[in-house]
Amino acid sequence: MGVFAVLAVLGGGHAILSFFSSPPPGPSEDSTTRIIAHEQLAQSYARDFVVTYLSATSGQQDKLAEYVSSGQQVTLPSIGRQITDGQVVYAARMSASEALDVWTVTVSVRVAKGAAIGGDKQFYRVAVSVADGRLRALSLPEVVGPPLRGDDLMLGYQTTCSPDTPLTQVAAGFLAAYAAGNGDVARYVTPDSGITALHPSPYSAMDVATVMADDSGCGASSATAHVLASVNPKADGGVAPSLAFPLTMVRTGGQWQVQAMDSVPYLRSPMTVVTGQQAGRDAAAASSAAKPTASAVQVPPATQN
């Protein structure tokens, strides 16, 4: 009763009712769909505007009037520049009302130098208003710097597994079957994984370089493990760029199998940003870590096709 008395004194009956009221509802499905649609419109419009503007020549002010007010002070070169590879790298809604949104969009382009193909990558930002499907640039583009490099996150794989451990053997056999067509992939995956081999096989071989795991025993005694397998593929008789496969493995009936090909590597919990000192310590720890060994791994027999 003390709480109600305080609420009544401070705000009357309205305060008491507010005490029990639910929080305001979040955005509806319709409003979310509208925002996404407006973002896509703003991105496409900004990309076209930046490419058109940077490649325009004197006498093409009418062409630019489709995007920006003719009241803008515009000076254009007599010879247009070759602009290619326009891509949106960032977009954000800056303000909104019931009928109008304002978006800021950053577009990357390649500006050719002379007769050279391609060119240096540059970034331009432009503000775009969106109202009932009608779009307009609020000003001419401005050149900006590239997006800042993000932070590295610490992964949860803390043990380097030797070639004779169960996790390494299953990872090697699975990836050889999955991406190089060497073996039956069904031997290495759980029945409910939904994983099938790639056809046609993009590589001729998958040489495993390292296998990292969150299981310190590398499959000797645990029932579940997160694994990061780094491989050196071969294609067309030569070495292809290295690849990394985050996998979830489970042991069922004494047999290790791949349960999932993870879309995101296994992260340390709580999420941790890697600093320069941490990266050095982790690399040293990984290189000096003992390589666990285990008895020969069991792999399910091949299935009949």
Pick 286 or 50 by higher pLDDT.
Answer: 50
CA distances from 29 to 25, 36, 38 (A): 11, 11, 14
Contacts of 84 (CB under 8 A, 6+ apart): 109, 110, 112, 118, 119
Q: Could you report the per-residue pLDDT of 12-55, keeping only the tens digit for each?
A: 544 444 444 555 555 566 678 888 999 999 999 999 999 999 99
Q: Could you report the per-residue pLDDT of 215-250, keeping only the tens digit for each?
A: 999 999 899 999 999 999 999 878 899 999 999 999
Contacts of 161 (CB under 8 A, 6+ apart): 167, 168, 211, 212, 213, 218, 219, 227, 291, 292
Pick 94 or 112 by higher pLDDT.
Answer: 94
* Cis peptide, bond prior to residue 270, ω within 30 of zero: yes
Q: Could you report the per-residue pLDDT of 154-165, keeping only the tens digit for each?
A: 999 999 999 999
pLDDT at position 80 is 84
- What value does the mean pLDDT take over residues 179-185? 95
Map tokens 């050889």 to a residue. 176
Letter string b/e over residues 55-85, b meaning 16 or more CB atoms within 10 A of that residue's CB = bbeeeeeeebeebbeeeeeeebeeeeebbee
Q: How many CB atoms lie within 10 A of CB 298?
A: 13
- What value does the mean pLDDT take over residues 181-185? 95
pLDDT at position 293 is 43
Pick 58 or 178 by higher pLDDT.
Answer: 178
Contacts 24+ apart (CB under 8 A), 21-28: none
* Cis peptide, bond prior to residue 146, ω within 30 of zero: no
pLDDT at position 276 is 65
Residue 73 pLDDT class (50, 70, 90 cuts): confident
Pick 96 or 18 by higher pLDDT.
Answer: 96
What's the N-to-C CA distance of the chain in angstroms? Answer: 74
Q: Is the distance from CB of 155 to CB of 228 less than 8 angstroms? A: yes
Find how far residue 188's CA is from the centre of its chain. Answer: 27
Whether the per-residue pLDDT at 69 is higher than 90: the answer is no
Strands 205-213 and 238-239, how do they pair? unpaired
Rounded to whole angstroms, the Cα distance separating 279 from 283 reads 6
Weakest mean pLDDT among 13-22, 55-64, 253-262: 13-22
Whether the per-residue pLDDT at 296 is higher than 50: the answer is no
Half-sphere CA count of 89, side-chain side, radius 13 A: 18
pLDDT at position 4 is 44
pLDDT at position 132 is 85
- What value does the mean pLDDT take over residues 142-150? 93
Amino acid, res. 234: K
Whether the per-residue pLDDT at 76 is higher than 50: the answer is yes
pLDDT at position 51 is 94
Map tokens 């990357």 to a residue. 108
pLDDT at position 30 is 65
In the chain, the percentage of residues whose pLDDT exceeds 70 is 79
